[in-house]
Structure 1
Amino acid sequence: MRPSKQMNFSRRSFIKTSALASGGMLIGFNLFNACKSDVKMPVDLSKLNYNDFNAFIKISEEGKVTIFAPNPEIGQGVKTSMPMLIAEELDVPWEDVYVQQAPLDTENYTRQIAGGSQSIRLAWTPLRQTGATAKQMLVNAAAAKWGVDASECSASQGVITHKDGNTLGYGDVVKEAATMEVPEDVTLKDPKDFTIIGQNTSNVDIDAIVTGKPLFGLDYKEEGMVYASVLRPPAFGQVLESYDDSAARALPGVIDVITIGEKMRKVLDAGKANWSTVIGTSDKVVVIANSTWQAFKGKNAIKATWKNDAKLESTKDQDDQLLAILDGNDLDVRRSDGDVNKAFAEADQVLERTYEAPFLPHNTMEPMNFFANVTPEKVHLVGPVQTPEAAAEVVSALLDRDLSDIHLDMTRMGGGFGRRLYGDFVFEAAEISAAIKKPVKMVSSREDDMTTGVYRPASKYRIAASIKDGKITGYRLKEACVNGNMYGLIPNFFPAAAIENFQVESAHFNSSVTTGAWRAPYTNFLASAEQTFFDELAETLGIDRVQMHMDLLENAKNNPNPNIEYSPERLQGVLKLAVEKSNWGKAEDGVYQGLSVYYCHNSHVAEVADIRMEDGVPKVEKVTVAVDCGIVVNPLGAQNQIKGGVIDGIGHTMYSDFGFKDGVPSSNNFNTYNLIRMGQTPHVDVHFVENNIDPTGLGEPTLPPAGAAVANAIYKATGKRLYKQPYMNHLKLEKVVG
């Protein structure tokens, strides 16, 4: 058991910033008014008399605490789990805590981002430290009131107790506590003493979600608001030449038709865009109407003429271009250990395979939308976005307004998966409102989202291993990706340090198709490629798949290397746990198993897929998942994240296909784009490695290994190795279960 931590916490860090990199939370002195004893649960929170004392917390006279959650909530659960951290160390009963979404506030919060599975990892110590410091000040105040030493006192559930049995509620000493010095050393709880962390805790929004209360961007309305639908180029690489809006203007409910785009071109030309700006340069036609449906009808009535620009050529023959990259010698070397060329030259045998994956749209449940009201006083923005600060910066440049004029309120998001990292829909809403001088809600249709969005880039990997005297002597990974993909840390993932001669190379070509992060960026396809390759490599060597992986990880343990991101010991741990819990190698007749082990986004995961063949078609029955993410803050939320990641990974790996012909997307709705169906989803059996290591993320790490676990099981059942996604397209099977 890890001992309690002694933390250093200055007055400045306590009062000013709390040093919380993942979103921030500050407990001010007036927090202590929140902790009065003997207060019954109110019936109607809206009738309480609240006192706002800083950007993070407001307190009612009845002692209830409302914590403003700074980070965007996209279903990953941070709106629940982050407040759990501070409530734990403060020792406030969880039932007395209420959570509210904070607006964008760059002065009081930092890293108001939803992405990378980093929120809990970065918040772990700062949030707990803030709560522990507040509690210690209360204890010190009670001790002073009693005239005893603070070491003789303890606090729990909002009550301070002296060793002789005297008690005081937090509210009884709040005024005294507010005048005391902020302690610079506080003790964080030992994990064995947690009462909130580690407990199944319901989503703080669950009642509002199931009863249909307004939480999401599409729910937001304001008096006098109009609706906008945007007609964008039908093909990437095209620009608007002319349009006829007469038919649209004649439709009921249509108020106006305008064009936008010039302001954004000026931002791009001036170099004022940031990384979240992935957008074309064409003008767009916008229909303004009294309702979403009327705006959609008006947009469909526009007769527009589009012309190609030179970039369209880059959307042609992408498969040939990617393969040419892999065949060439102009890739950038990302990591090179030992002498790979020598290992391959001296090999008895070389196993080399090429793996291919298509573009993928994000297909969030809630289409892109945003509200904007641009007035001389301020720019008010409301909606679902994963990167509010980056979006506000671009809107500031777009409208030539001070950043302080931009007020952005975040709603809950009906899915993100990386799509809402990019703020094109925010910029459109802001430019439309500035043009029409009215509050407006820009709403995209499903077809808009699927055909004019941001996509996971199509990519190919070529993986080769050299074999000498029955041993793996070298490993080379090459990546070719539309618009680029290889992330700097991936060369430091497994099997780095596990194979002496190891090299990673990558290259790309530029395309006018807008690409970006898609759930578990960089690794979502790489894991499938590498883990199916290792399965085939074990068969080629004639050795046990599990033992091969354990031996390679043992090599990494015996070859300490500061330039690796994963822990060999923790990967071995999840592998052992998955093997044990899945009954690996002992499945009943008719069940075929496949294994995948992977590290990404700071977490270690192993998965075993069980499939059966039904009428010649693979049916995934169960996936056993072993996860090492350190301390699990909210097991209920963690299980949901793990299961969702596995099912999402299987669905896109098996069924989802997307591409472009002359810049035109191949699908525009779910009748032609295959997402996983309910009948195709497996049971997911989750197991955690128990330890007291600081927690890491869960929104993404279980998606990447899922595809390889299924592909390896399919090989066991059919004898067919799968190299190209979606796998069902390349099994040449007639039926799909579901």
Structure 2
Amino acid sequence: MSTLIKSSRRDFLKIAGTSVGGLVIGFNWFSCDSPKVEVLSTEEILAQAKSFNSYLSISPSGDVVIYSPNPELGQNIKTSFPMVVAEELDADWGKVRVVQANLDTEKYERQLTGGSGAMPHSWERLRKAGATAKFVLVAAAAKTWNVPAGEITVDKGVISHNASGKSGHFGEFVAEAATITAPEEVALKDKKDFKIIGTPVKNVDAMEMYTGKPLYGLDFYREGMKHAMVQRAPFGMKIKSVDESAAKAVAGITDVVTFGTSVAVVGTSTWPLMKAKKLLKVEYEADGNVESTSDHDRIFADLMANGKAETKRADGNVNQAFKNAAKVVVAEYQCPFLAHSPMEPENFFAHVQGDKCELIGPTQTPDRARQSAADILGIPKENITVQITRLGGGFGRRLRADYAEEAVHISKAIAGPVKVTWSREDELTGGAYRPAVRYRFEAALDADNRMVGYKLKGVGMNAGNSTRENNFPSGAVDHVLIESVNYESSVTTNAWRAPITNFLAYAEQSFLDEVALEAGKDPVEFRLELLNRAKSNPVGELGYDVDRMIAVTKEVAEKSKWGQDPNVKQGLSVYFSHRSYVAQVADIEMQGGTPVLKKITAVTDCGMVVNPIGANHQVRGGIVDGMGHAMYTNLTFENGVPKQKNYDSYRLIRLKEVPEIETHFLDSGFDPTGLGEPALPPTGGAIANAIFAATGRRLRSQPFIEQKEFSDINLEIRRA
């Protein structure tokens, strides 16, 4: 059965073409209105890519050009989006070309990358784009051949009428198709008929990446532009005085620019800039709280005990449940600040020319960069263009526009084009970090060892709501109290891959294992018992799909052979975030008295998998990221300055430390949901629970290697 989707004629606009022109299907992926478009040849389309963005275009040669609006930072959206369009179009993937769109807020409502929301938001719109183009092409062929459209088939870019033996590729019908009115309703394929979606397709930028062709912001160069590097004030401080004389004396330095709490050195290349920056003599003074990690420990303790908490959820009578409890389990978990550490440090190009500005660089939120530039310059944002390069990682760091703002300030000051480049030290010391958070959990067990009461209190640094109050086990417990306390720290924070849940999942899942132990129940069975209670008798609002969570839990137990080998100690973690469900089991074996992490098995329900290659990479990458930061990484502060300034002291996971990873996907029948983030949150909990199973040591803080309990364990990670 096909799915019938209704749309307005305003969704799809066409203008008649000539015999030498191509067909452009004007399609707005993020709203119901599409702007007026022109029909151009393929060469003209490529030459004027900035003005077309997210349009599906077909040339007389039969080549299909798809403009992808969302920034690509490794989540594979630049490949998977076009796959969806090409599927409904029945295009020949070998003749599809993909072009990164520039910013255009008249065409897009959500031209950003964040929250693992791009595919869920655009799935139906992408399908409609391909299906509508296919409809008018088929209608054009039917009119040309004078045959019924219902007798025509399309496969790999070829339109055929079997009864007459006639066939032709897309390009032969683009001129006629441009004269046909788009339908208000268009039939979409039955998912069982998909030929491209669900098949492994390599990254459309793979060849450029392999051969080192310019793709990233760091690759960008324009003749005549200056380079700049910036010295930023410690957190909580402002500039008191600047002595720039020594820096200006360095050969190749053309300007020193002071703005806000920053000082920029400008020159002909980055090498003299690095030298000159070290010669700046900047004196700072306090401008608020100048914090150290020791302050944060004290603040956490005080706010956990005395902080005014905001109640996020209250079910039943928690006080009575704990008063009548046969057992009460209490534990606190804490995580540190973390840097985002993208492979490509921040960089951005700006050219301010009077009341106009050109921006080019890697950004997850191009419109935020444009609006920031407009605010700085006092000009209409419509006078600012933003060209999006491929991002060498982001993980939430490039949701901010601070580095683009720096380029705008400097370009305005020097009245010329400039590219700002951050060093690795800049990235770690001048960034915006994952908030530090502390959680206190309490669970009440009745005489039958049923969890009848649950409390969670979160205290976060600039975390806002540090809880996810409607996530499991909420809804499965009769009496629940969830509270949040926020502390406004002078340390700049930002969304970090899987915001909040990146640590909350570890803490929650570790605590549930503690409760299962006190209840004398197997960790898998304990969770399934709670989930079945949520299914049969839910309490309050459920922020998750119980059946999908049960399914991944049972599947990971089966795939990991849970509890079958007495020589393998296992830890379970199952979590819902960003619309998807991921369950993981970590395997540890004792070798010569040392626990060795051998394997992590993951089962993911992200709805339909568009591209198995991309999906597999996302899950594996999330696991490695989650494991590395849970075990090794810490960022501490002294007087507003991070103590870890480069990778010699800021510890990241190493290749040899990555265990075997086995991935599985469940098709629950749902449309695609998020996948860039959901595999990260469960990993820390799976490993910590496996460590406890093997050693009896409970790890309640990250990173693991800095905990006394862990140093006694001496865990090793050996690749299979």
TM range (shorter): over 0.9
* Partner of residue 661, structure 1: 638
Aligned length in residues:
701
* Partner of residue 14, structure 1: 12
Name the % identity: 46
- Deviation larger for 207-216 or 248-257: 248-257
Deviation at 1:660, TM superposition (A): 1.4
Q: Report the 3-state secondary structure (helix = DSSP H, G, I; strand = E; otherwise coil) of the residue aligned with 1:625.
A: strand
Cα distance change on mapping 1:444 and 1:133 into 2, 3 Å: same
Unaligned runs of 5+ in 2: 15-25
Deviation at 1:21, TM superposition (A): 3.1
2:531 pairs with 543, 549, 553, which one? 553
Contact 1:620 1:680 (C-alpha < 8 Å) held by counterparts: no
Q: Report the 3-state secondary structure (helix = DSSP H, G, I; strand = E; otherwise coil) of the residue aligned with 1:334.
A: strand
Contact 2:237 2:290 (C-alpha < 8 Å) held by counterparts: yes
CA deviation profile, 1:112-162 (whole Å, cap 9, x unmatched): 111111111111111001111111122222223344432233322222333
Q: Quick one: distance in 2 between partners of 1:588 and 1:23?
A: 58
Q: Does the alignment pair 1:216 with 2:216? A: yes
* Partner of residue 247, structure 2: 248
Q: Quick one: distance in 1 between partners of 2:627 and 2:663?
A: 16
* Partner of residue 663, structure 2: 686
Deviation at 1:183, TM superposition (A): 1.3
- Which residue type is aligned with residue 126 of structure 2? L
Deviation at 1:600, TM superposition (A): 0.3
Q: Does the alignment pair 1:74 with 2:73? A: yes
Contact 1:617 1:733 (C-alpha < 8 Å) held by counterparts: no
Deviation at 1:67, TM superposition (A): 1.5
* Partner of residue 136, structure 1: 135
Q: Quick one: distance in 1 between partners of 2:268 and 2:84?
A: 45
Q: Quick one: distance in 2 between partners of 1:379 and 1:147?
A: 53
Q: Quick one: distance in 2 between partners of 1:199 and 1:223?
A: 43
- Deviation larger for 168-177 or 380-389: 168-177
TM-score, normalised via structure 1 length? 0.91
* Partner of residue 270, structure 1: none
Cα distance change on mapping 1:252 and 1:72 into 2, 3 Å: same
Q: Report the 3-state secondary structure (helix = DSSP H, G, I; strand = E; otherwise coil) of the residue aligned with 2:289.
A: helix
Cα distance change on mapping 1:244 and 1:613 into 2, 3 Å: farther
Contact 1:631 1:692 (C-alpha < 8 Å) held by counterparts: yes
Q: Quick one: distance in 1 between partners of 2:288 and 2:393?
A: 34
- Which residue type is aligned with residue 342 of structure 2? T
Unaligned runs of 5+ in 1: 35-44, 262-281
Contact 2:69 2:111 (C-alpha < 8 Å) held by counterparts: yes
TM-score, normalised via structure 2 length? 0.93
Q: Does the alignment pair 1:475 with 2:421? A: no
Q: Report the 3-state secondary structure (helix = DSSP H, G, I; strand = E; otherwise coil) of the residue aligned with 1:515.
A: coil
Contact 1:315 1:512 (C-alpha < 8 Å) held by counterparts: no
* Partner of residue 728, structure 1: 705
Q: Quick one: distance in 1 between partners of 2:487 and 2:411?
A: 36
Cα distance change on mapping 1:214 and 1:247 into 2, 3 Å: same
RMSD value over aligned CA atoms?
Answer: 2.4
2:406 pairs with 428, 452, 455, which one? 428
Contact 2:457 2:482 (C-alpha < 8 Å) held by counterparts: yes
Contact 1:51 1:59 (C-alpha < 8 Å) held by counterparts: no
Q: Quick one: distance in 2 between partners of 1:330 and 1:715?
A: 34
- Which residue type is aligned with residue 254 of structure 1? I
Q: Quick one: distance in 2 between partners of 1:531 and 1:659?
A: 26
* Partner of residue 601, structure 2: 624
Q: Quick one: distance in 1 between partners of 2:511 and 2:484?
A: 18
Q: Quick one: distance in 2 between partners of 1:287 and 1:681?
A: 40
* Partner of residue 264, structure 1: none
* Partner of residue 610, structure 2: 633
Q: Quick one: distance in 1 between partners of 2:82 and 2:625?
A: 28
- Which residue type is aligned with residue 21 of structure 1? F
Contact 1:138 1:177 (C-alpha < 8 Å) held by counterparts: yes
Contact 1:22 1:111 (C-alpha < 8 Å) held by counterparts: no
Deviation at 1:338, TM superposition (A): 1.3
Q: Does the alignment pair 1:578 with 2:576? A: no
CA deviation profile, 1:160-215 (whole Å, cap 9, x unmatched): 33352443323333233222221122111111111110010000111111111111
Q: Report the 3-state secondary structure (helix = DSSP H, G, I; strand = E; otherwise coil) of the residue aligned with 2:469.
A: helix
Q: Quick one: distance in 2 between partners of 1:536 and 1:186?
A: 53
1:598 pairs with 575, 595, 601, which one? 575
Deviation at 1:497, TM superposition (A): 1.1
Q: Does the alignment pair 1:380 with 2:358? A: yes
Q: Quick one: distance in 2 between partners of 1:69 and 1:501?
A: 47
Give the 5 Å matches for 1:295-334. 295-312=273-290, 317-328=295-306, 330-334=308-312
Q: Report the 3-state secondary structure (helix = DSSP H, G, I; strand = E; otherwise coil) of the residue aligned with 1:317.
A: helix
* Partner of residue 226, structure 1: 226
Contact 2:342 2:392 (C-alpha < 8 Å) held by counterparts: yes
CA deviation profile, 1:309-349 (whole Å, cap 9, x unmatched): 23226976112212222223621111111111211111111
- Which residue type is aligned with residue 518 of structure 1? W
CA deviation profile, 1:15-54 (whole Å, cap 9, x unmatched): 39745239999997959x88xxxxxxxxxx9999999994
- Which residue type is aligned with residue 181 of structure 1? T
- Which residue type is aligned with residue 540 of structure 1? E
* Partner of residue 540, structure 1: 518
* Partner of residue 205, structure 2: 205
* Partner of residue 23, structure 2: none
